[in-house]
């Protein structure tokens, strides 16, 4: 009787990358995004909201070395493919199942990290995050109103002194992701959060102001 050997996480990632190559420009941009994770204290509990294929999840594990990481993305619940039709999704041939499998394999490479995969949209799944977070990386809806809503929920889920970080910092009103910038500005103006870093490779980070 033959048993197929279980593929290692690295082999699963290589297989999926071969079938659906990530555009080289995105891989280059990924390297440029690493710096923001130097703000995250090591050994915490974190969440990545909007995971896609787990490339940044892998960096979170490598650099922030969390003890626990929630990965939240709707993946297959939105359909067989993402429906964006761009090079980023291999012109909509990348399946949501393959993206979820690659994400899972990316974190399984890091045996010290307890990973919880939630296949749903945030904040609908907020109650599945069962402890206060040290940090959350937001890279999900990219639109003004949903981003503001996501930030308001994270305000309740991230510990005092914790961090909210994210992608797509776009001060230019002509940029398709400018809504994220506007939502963050409105959020910090209305709360005790402050921007501690923003700019290179469109990364940003917020921390709750310390009480005087």
Q: By the criterion CB under 6 A, which residues form the site for ligand SAM?
A: 48-52, 55-56, 72-74, 121-122, 139-141
**Exposed e or buried b per residue across 44-76, where buried means at least 16 C-beta atoms within 10 angstroms of its C-beta:** bbbbbbbbbbbbbbbbbbebbbbebbbbbbbbe
The nearer residue to ligand SAM, 73 or 134, going by C-beta atoms, is 73
User: Smallest distance, Å, CB 75 to ligand SAM?
Assistant: 6
Least Cβ distance, residue 155 to ligand SAM (angstroms): 16
SS3 142: coil
3-state secondary structure of 55: helix
Residue 75 CA, chain-centre distance (Å), reads 13
Burial of residue 6 (CB within 10 Å: 0-12, 13-18, 19+) is exposed
Instruction: Give residue number: closest CB to ligand SAM.
Output: 50
E-strand spans in 57-192?
68-72, 114-118, 133-138, 158-166
Considering beta carbons, is residue 140 or 184 the nearer one to ligand SAM? 140
State which residue, 153 or 159, has the beta carbon closest to ligand SAM.
Answer: 153
In the complex, least distance from residue 42 CB atom to ligand SAM, rounded to whole angstroms: 20
Angle between helices 96-108 and 9-19 (to 10 degrees): 150
CB of 84 to ligand SAM, least distance (A): 9
Work out the number of other CB atoms within 10 angstroms of the CB of residue 8. Answer: 12
Of 134 and 139, the one with the shorter C-beta distance to ligand SAM is 139
Eight-class DSSP state of 81: B
Q: How far is the CB of 115 from ligand SAM (least distance, A)?
A: 15
The nearest distance, CB 72 to ligand SAM, in angstroms, is 5
User: CA 123, 126, 129, 134: dihedral to nearest 10 degrees?
Assistant: 50
Q: Which residue number, 101 or 139, has a Cβ lying nearer to ligand SAM?
A: 139
Q: Cβ closer to ligand SAM: 45 or 49?
A: 49
């Amino acid at each position: 009787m033959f048993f197929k050997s279980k593929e290692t996480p690295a082999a699963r990632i290589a297989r999926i990358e071969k079938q659906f190559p990530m555009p080289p420009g995105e891989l280059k941009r990924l390297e440029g995004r690493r710096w923001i994770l130097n703000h995250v204290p090591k050994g915490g509990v974190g969440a990545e909201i909007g995971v896609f294929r787990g490339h940044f999840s892998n960096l979170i594990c490598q650099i922030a070395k969390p003890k626990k990481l929630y990965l939240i993305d709707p993946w297959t619940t939105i359909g067989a493919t993402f429906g964006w039709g761009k090079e980023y999704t291999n012109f909509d041939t990348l399946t949501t199942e393959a993206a979820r499998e690659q994400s899972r394999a990316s974190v399984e490479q890091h045996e010290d990290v307890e990973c919880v995969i939630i296949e749903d949209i945030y904040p609908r799944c907020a109650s599945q995050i069962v402890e206060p977070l040290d940090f959350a990386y937001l890279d999900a809806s990219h639109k003004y109103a949903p981003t503001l809503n996501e930030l308001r929920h994270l305000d309740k889920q991230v510990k005092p002194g914790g961090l909210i970080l994210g992608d797509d910092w776009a001060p230019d009103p002509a940029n398709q992701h400018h809504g994220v910038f506007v939502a963050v500005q409105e959020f910090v103006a209305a709360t005790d959060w402050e921007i501690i870093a923003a700019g290179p490779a469109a990364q940003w980070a917020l921390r709750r102001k310390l009480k005087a």
